[in-house]
Structure 1
Amino acid sequence: MYKDIRGKVLSINISDKKGVIKEPIKEGLFIENFGLEKDAHSGNWHRQVSLLGIESFDKMENQGIEGLVPGVFAENITTEGIILYELPIGTKLIIGETIQEVTQIGKECHTGCAISQKVGKCVMPKEGIFTKVLKGGVIKEGDIIEVI
């Protein structure tokens, strides 16, 4: 049902601390079973990489929240063209040179988060997804995302 779905990488975002807005970079090295090199959320766990669709940004803007840019919700990869939170856990994605597996949909927000303080509220808890890196490689802005 989900095969042949394609999307696009709009932005790769990185931070060296958790709970802060991430800064866009042109490309990132994603390391097998670790995540984005030099990112605070990387490590040997199930939430190595976070993804959020631009479609979720649009929802927030429709609620009157302005000035949203990639990385503002602390997502590693801002995507376009796939409703990420509808993908079942276990779905595999080819993103750039990498293969990643969806491990979690949404998350609990922690209090005092810089994102919710700056933006007012966050869509990550309901619409963000998390993956682990099965095959490492480089991901660049504009790369295709394929559901396999």
Structure 2
Amino acid sequence: MSITDRLAELGVTLGSPAAPAANYVPFVKSGATLYVSGQISNGPDGMVKGKLGADMDVAAGADAARLCAISLLEQVKAACDGDIERLKRVVKLTGFVNSTADFTDQPKVINGASDFLVEALGDAGRHARSAVSAASLPLGVAVEIEGIFEIE
């Protein structure tokens, strides 16, 4: 099954990727490796803001991480000239969780992105990963995730 068909089954349509908010590019291609800049938790209803361990629970954080994964795929599609089928695999994610000093479930939050990518891409969605805490994130968002991908 194609990536596009699998995303449609999951009720996900890839839209236009977000433009950079500062002096950087949204992605860099180097051979078959694609580096995608950090994508913040932003969805159809706007930015998902909050601090895990204070005003947001793990389930809501995982939902925010899923939104980041969708944004990553939007950037991959743009980098592949609109053809998401050129995506070969997710290599690595680095997830940043806006959380309190005593919150320790960052991996459970980033699972929202990891689980979605495996659901959408199968084995090609399995990846190496880091999940770390951040005292704050841009615009007060709950999650930011950057990714490395293999493309053709």
**TM-score, normalised via structure 1 length:** 0.31
**TM-score, normalised via structure 2 length:** 0.30
Q: Which has the higher helix share?
A: 2
